[in-house]
Amino acid sequence: MRVLGVDPGLTRCGLGVIDSRAGRQVSLVAFGVAASPADEAIDQRLLAIADQIGRWIDTHRPDAVAIERVFAQRNAYTVSGTMQASGVAMVEAARRGVEVALHTPTEVKAAVTGNGEAPKEQIARMVARLLGLDEPPRPPDAADALALAICHAWRPSTLSPTGQASTAAQKAWVEAARAARRGRRSWVAA
């Protein structure tokens, strides 16, 4: 399957496309960023991000778009642009009939490194190794987007009919996904 990962942002939105095959094989298709000038009005910036993501979907025709789940607890000002960019990315995918999945940073880290608390540099190095690159993809937003795409390709439901996690990384993934669901439930109730 082909997955487009999106690390949402207003100034820079990381984008990464991978192909995945049986046996946890992944290969690089493309990576880059969608950007918008900080001195433009917010509506023009969001439109620029939307159009660039739309073109990536049209060009690479992914089976799914995996987007980082943004939490409101982070810096209030930054988070609004990030959240709006993620909403806009979802609409671009949905309008084209492409499946959308959200993954938390912890899920992504656990999927790629087996450690839900892994530092960013470790993620980038692991992404490079998994995709057979000589060095970590830059900018970091693009590396994060590729990690999101790999995370989605390796999500537990694709591992086996019973959703059995076999490796340490898969077990950490399942644990992180469960924690995210628990967190979300109590969050809704709050």
- Residues annotated as catalytic are 7, 68, 141
Residue with Cβ nearer its own copies (89 or 150) = 89
**CA angle (75, 81, 84) in 5-degree steps:** 125
Rounded Cα distance between 26 and 100, Å, is 19
Rounded Cα distance between 41 and 38, Å, is 8
Q: Does residue number 35 form part of the binding site for its own copies (CB under 8 A)?
A: no
Q: Does residue number 162 form part of the binding site for its own copies (CB under 8 A)?
A: no
Q: Does residue number 47 form part of the binding site for its own copies (CB under 8 A)?
A: yes
The dihedral built from the CA positions of residue 46, 47, 49 and 54, taken in this order, carries a sign that is positive
Binding mask 52-91 toward its own copies (x if CB under 8 A, else -) reads ------------------xxxx-xxx-xx--xxxxxx-xx
Q: Does residue number 142 form part of the binding site for its own copies (CB under 8 A)?
A: no
Residue with Cβ nearer its own copies (94 or 168) = 94
At closest approach, how far in Å is the CB of 156 from its own copies?
19
Q: Does residue number 100 form part of the binding site for its own copies (CB under 8 A)?
A: yes
H/E run at residue 111: helix 105-113
At closest approach, how far in Å is the CB of 65 from its own copies?
8
Rounded Cα distance between 20 and 12, Å, is 25
Look at residues 71, 155, 141 and name the one whose alpha carbon lies nearest to residue 111: 155
At closest approach, how far in Å is the CB of 160 from its own copies?
24
**Residue among 27, 44, 59, 164 that touches its own copies (CB under 8 A):** 44
Q: For residue 8, what is the DSSP state? A: -
Three-state DSSP class for residue 26 = strand
Q: Does residue number 22 form part of the binding site for its own copies (CB under 8 A)?
A: no
Rounded Cα distance between 62 and 176, Å, is 25
Q: Which residues of the chain form contacts with its own copies (CB under 8 A)?
A: 41-44, 46-47, 50, 70-73, 75-77, 79-80, 83-88, 90-91, 93-95, 100, 102, 187-188, 190
